[in-house]
Structure 1
Amino acid sequence: MGYRVAVVGATGNVGREMLNILDEREFPVDELIPLASRRSQGTEVSFGDKTLKCQTLDTFDFSKTDICLMSAGGDVSKEWSPRIAAQGAVVIDNSSAFRYDQDVPLIVPEVNADAISGYTKKGIIANPNCSTAQLVVALKPLHDAAKILRVVVSTYQSVSGAGKEGMDELWNQTKGIYVNDAAEAKKFSKQIAFNVIPHIDVFMDDGYTKEEWKVMVETKKILDPKIKLTCTAVRVPVFVGHSEAVNIEFERPISADEARDILREAPGILVVDKREPGGYVTPIECVGDYATFVSRIREDFTVENGLSLWVVSDNLRKGAALNAVQIAESLINRGFLKKAA
């Protein structure tokens, strides 16, 4: 027998990806329950070779559910995650609702799996922001080796990070431009087709956007609160796959060759770093893959003990759905969830 697993937000981009990954990784599911809002009741979703109909969140009884993967947005999670946890299910939440709660562990299994034990305080585990997840996977082994002091990261984030509306807007604008239609901006603040926008989420009083703030705060919580980090988050006309240009300053010397060897041995990372045209990974090549890819590893001679990297990952997978499933796997592997009867 396996586990009874509910997926809230099963009709969305990330929710559907969760279903795919649960099946691909042969997660021990005894029963899978897709849940959505009332307007999506009865919508069919695929789970392996099965077609399942979505049930409604607000009428579902979670008392016999072992794990709930939440991907329905922050407002829904704030209302429902504590309720679901109170009924006995462990909630793994993909929104930002609980990431900054000190009683809720923020987990990337390759980085801080030991912290998962903290879920017992509220029955909730938070999944980090998509850009944070791939960044800390790349930073962790280097931090262990030479201690990171400061990070400067610029993100190049795909429109799927803004959901189906973002993907539709890029598609419609691109098609429209070829027939001389106006590229109307609805989801984004400016035209996204054939453009880049240095603005994701709302602006804060200090001039950073909330997306940039998330990367800075979450990296500290997951990896090390002493690391200094600054971020510029940019939306780019790519459907799936986030990229990051990362500059790192270390306490101790570390060469590009050493870093390359360390990263090759690190969990969740694939190094593709040939110093020739095409000897690196781009977003389109990472789609559908589990790995975080690291390329362009080189020394930064403008600072003492500096390196620069290029980091790419499928944001719907490692940045969201895959990480959530890996958290569920960690719960089982560490003995926090026993086999359901």
Structure 2
Amino acid sequence: MNGYNVAVVGATGLVGETMMQILAQREFPVDRLHAVASERSVGKTVEFGERQVAVEALNDFDFSGMHFALFSAGAGTAIEHAPRAAAQGAIVIDNSSAFRYDDDVPLVVPEVNPSALAECRERGIVANPNCSTIQLVVALKPLYDAIGIQRISVATYQAVSGAGRRAMEDLVRHTANMMAGKGRPEEPADAEEEEP
């Protein structure tokens, strides 16, 4: 085997694009990469390293032959399609909140509990915590191992980028209006999930 076959679900979103950039930058051994998204993105291309990859439709995508399916398309999309990907043989790594509280889906931060990956055999799905939690537990793990931790209280401020491209565009538009003395636009900002 020369490498792994990887499907990135949500490839046209901010996080999906970043996943592909990291795979390329770290020279992850990819044999075939599939950029998967909603029907409205079919026909577009996304960048993977030095090449352009055509976007394929999620509803019709066959995950058999995929070693990994990286999901970054929101909880609803993950709930609907991740079990299908796993049933077709891919190991699903889901970035949404969909499976974080499922007892039979391991919640993994590789720097903290890599052995939990073995638990993904039952459903074929691995979840990861929220981004703030990941950073926190990576920093706390050595302290926990050395002296133990009984309780911790945390407050976080989440980045608007976590709500997707539309939320980022709304923030830019609203900020520009405020800076120009126009006030906030009348229409409500949509807090939609990132496009699958």
**TM-score, with structure 2 as normaliser:** 0.92
| CA deviation map 1:281-338 (0-9, x unaligned) | xxxxxxxxxxxxxxxxxxxxxxxxxxxxxxxxxxxxxxxxxxxxxxxxxxxxxxxxxx
Query: What pairs up with 1:43-192 in 2 under 5 angstroms?
Result: 43-184=44-185, 185-187=188-190
Select the structure that is richer in strand. 1
The letter for the 2-side match of 1:66 is H
Q: Which runs of 5+ in 2 are unaligned?
A: 192-196
Max Rg structure: 1
Question: Secondary structure of the residue that 1:84 maps to in structure 2?
Answer: helix
The letter for the 2-side match of 1:137 is V
| CA deviation map 1:232-290 (0-9, x unaligned) | xxxxxxxxxxxxxxxxxxxxxxxxxxxxxxxxxxxxxxxxxxxxxxxxxxxxxxxxxxx
Q: Which runs of 5+ in 1 are unaligned?
A: 189-341
Deviation beyond 2 Å, 4+ runs, structure 1: none
Using the TM superposition, give the Cα deviation of residue 154 of structure 1 relative to its aligned residue in structure 2, in angstroms.
Answer: 1.5
| CA deviation map 1:158-207 (0-9, x unaligned) | 2112211221122111111222222135147xxxxxxxxxxxxxxxxxxx
Output the CA distance in 2 between the equivalents of 1:156 and 1:71.
21
Question: Secondary structure of the residue that 1:170 maps to in structure 2?
Answer: helix
- Percent sequence identity is 54
Query: What pairs up with 1:274-289 in 2 under 5 angstroms?
Result: none
The letter for the 2-side match of 1:183 is R
Q: Which residue of structure 2 lines up, in the alignment, with residue 238 of structure 1?
A: none
Output the CA distance in 1 between the equivalents of 2:179 and 2:19.
35
Using the TM superposition, give the Cα deviation of residue 43 of structure 1 relative to its aligned residue in structure 2, in angstroms.
Answer: 1.4
The letter for the 1-side match of 2:95 is N
Question: Secondary structure of the residue that 2:182 maps to in structure 1?
Answer: coil
Output the CA distance in 2 between the equivalents of 1:25 and 1:178.
40
| CA deviation map 1:44-87 (0-9, x unaligned) | 11000001110001111111111000011111111111111011
The letter for the 1-side match of 2:114 is A
Q: What is the count of residue pairs matched by the alignment?
A: 188
Q: Which residue of structure 1 lines up, in the alignment, with residue 194 of structure 2?
A: none
